[in-house]
Chain A
Amino acid sequence: MARVLVGVKRVIDYAVKIRVKPDKTGVTTDGVKHSMNPFDEIAIEEAVRMKEKKLVQEIIAVSCGPTQAQDTIRTALAMGADKGIHVEISGAEYETLQPIHVSKILAKLAQEEKADLVIVGKQAIDDDCNQTAQMIGGYLDWPTGTFCSKVENNNGELTITREIDGGLEVIKMKMPAVLSTDLRLNEPRYATLPNIMKAKKKPIKKMTPKDLGVDFAARIEILSVEEPPARKGGVILPDIDTLIGKLKEAGHV
């Protein structure tokens, strides 16, 4: 039976309206509500469902980040992951942490933990990169099913339905493999209170990137982070005729 490694990221909650720092170095994160990246909840859910179908033996949740990343791992454990690995990275290194670093860590851990499957979200809603799964696949030379909306597992052969621009696509791949989840793959469960209590007893192994021999040199320099240009205020129109008038005036119709 397969062992699954799931990558989870702690991000600013999806419902929060973010604020750009006045000094243009980034966005304000202190005192802002954080939670698990929504796509990663879907990744954990998929792994747990595979375990419930007895296709998976063990689920390992991994997060790279500061101390608080442990809360995200606990959430994954409460949803049904068996154990956690926290790769601690904070301060300046965390500021320039890129999918290239995270994917190297996950690739290394996948080998060390003898995982047959790595599942991550298709993108983190903070950096919006959409790179990690693809890069893990590249480093490990494993096939990668990106933007999955359906995964069927027949004895180590995966049939995957992917969300592509014009519709859907079906591919078949052999394990070991990497998957990235799209929104429609499943509906993640809520962790119940008893499961949250049980999760406190599950082990979380703490590591540093050095333990894994991954080079953390910054690949980018962030020159600035700014507010997008604000749209000028619009008007509420009284009726359809006025709307059509405005659209004609602007040459749209």
Chain B
Amino acid sequence: MFTACFRTLKVSNKYGLLARYESTLVIAEHNNEMVLPITCNALSAAKKIGGDVTVLVAGNKCEKVAETVSKANGVSKVLVAENDAFKGFLPEALTPLIIATQNQHKFTHILAGATAFGKALLPRVAAKLDVSPVSDIIGIKTADTFVRTIYAGNAIQTLKCKDNVKVISVRGTAFEAVPLEGGSAKCEPAPSGEYKSSLVEFIKQELSKSDRPELTSAKIVVSGGRGMKSGENFKLLYSLADKLNAAVGASRAAVDAGFVPNDLQVGQTGKIVAPDLYIAVGISGAIQHLAGMKDSKTIVAINKDPEAPIFQVADYGLVADLFKAVPELTEKL
């Protein structure tokens, strides 16, 4: 069965060879209410590849999202798949939909943002197409040549993808967002089918609520590390962040110590951010943390240890006790 399934997939791949123009499918990430900003970054990457851009909106409530996406600049078509099967956006349900869409339209590229959603979904799609996916790209040289980081951002790899269908996740911070205006794409239904998975069931989400800007798209990020000593002390950073209209992030040490929830983690295995201003407070600057923030435009480090590696990447460093410096900074701003 295993090999049989490979064989059929290889046949479908051959059609890719006949395609003269690039055509890209972008899988929209949304929450049934609004389209998430990462989708606009993925659209920008799709435009760079060239050719037609189609967006797939799948969920259990799609109307509003599809309407918003259809106005995005450069989108030629929006495919809509509204079905209760897509509750929780499970890859087991979405993959057969994407494969059915691919069989019908023969895209050369399938893209999504490199978020928890995109990372969980795209490799499963790639396996079904028997192609090697490319993760978290930061650059597009040509339609088959991409740039990505390896070793926690300490090396930059340029690779040529030999597969006929390129399945790619896009690092949001590396591509500017396409505006959700100026376009007027047609909305069409995506191929229908029985997509409900009997193997897995979505139970619930527990999302951290915050009035502050979202971490990956914030202009300013204030992050705390082990030096904060307790979750209670993070209040100092929240006050500073509120003054600056900044998002709050954390190092792995702060998350592991239970100071803050894991979705605030910035780094190789957490979120990648590249704000205009990143203020690292009580963070030593381990390789794994730097991987998530060293593309920030300006980096400020506040640490009492003058030897901390964070000072090697900081534009402005302050060797000081954070418990004095942070309140003073908040006060004076």
Residues of chain A having any CB pair with chain B under 8 Å? 12, 14-15, 17-18, 20, 27, 39, 98-100, 103, 107-108, 111, 122-123, 125-132, 134-139, 142-144, 146-147, 149, 159, 162-174, 177, 182-184, 213, 218-228, 231, 234-237, 239-241, 243-244, 246-247, 250, 252-253
Contacts and interface: CB of A to CB of B under 8 A. Distances in A.
B123 A135 contact: yes
B151 A18 contact: yes
Contact of B160 (A128, A223, A247, A252): A223
Interface stretch (B44-52, B60-68, B78-86, B202-210): B202-210
A147 B220 contact: no
B262 interface: yes
Given A225-B156, A252-B277, 9 more contacts: A127-B150, A131-B123, A131-B133, A138-B123, A165-B271, A166-B208, A234-B299, A243-B316, A246-B316
B124 A240 contact: no
Nearest to B315: A234
- In this complex, the interface size class of chain B, counting residues with CB under 8 Å from chain A, is 35 or more
A139 B161 CA distance: 21
Across the A-B interface, the 9 shortest Cβ-Cβ residue pairs: A138-B127, A219-B132, A134-B123, A131-B123, A143-B199, A143-B200, A135-B127, A166-B207, A138-B124
Given A131-B135, A139-B127, A173-B199, A253 B333 contact: yes
A241 B269 contact: no
Interface in B135-164: 135-136, 145, 148-163
A211 to B, nearest CB: 15
Contacts of A18: 151, 154-155
Contact of B261 (A130, A167, A183, A228): A167
7 contacts: A129-B135, A135-B127, A138-B128, A143-B200, A146-B91, A164-B116, A234-B316
A235 B317 contact: yes
Interface of B: 2-3, 5, 88, 90-92, 95, 115-117, 119-128, 130-136, 145, 148-163, 197, 199-208, 216, 220, 244, 252, 255-256, 261-263, 268-269, 271, 276-277, 287-288, 294, 298-300, 306, 311, 313-319, 325, 328-329, 332-333
Contacts of A184: 255-256, 262
B211 to A, nearest CB: 14
Contacts of B117: 164-165
Which of A14, A219, A227 has the most chain B CB atoms closer than 10 A to its own CB?
A: A219
Which of B115, B122, B135, B200 has the most chain A CB atoms closer than 10 A to its own CB?
A: B200
Nearest to B216: A165
A249 to B, nearest CB: 11
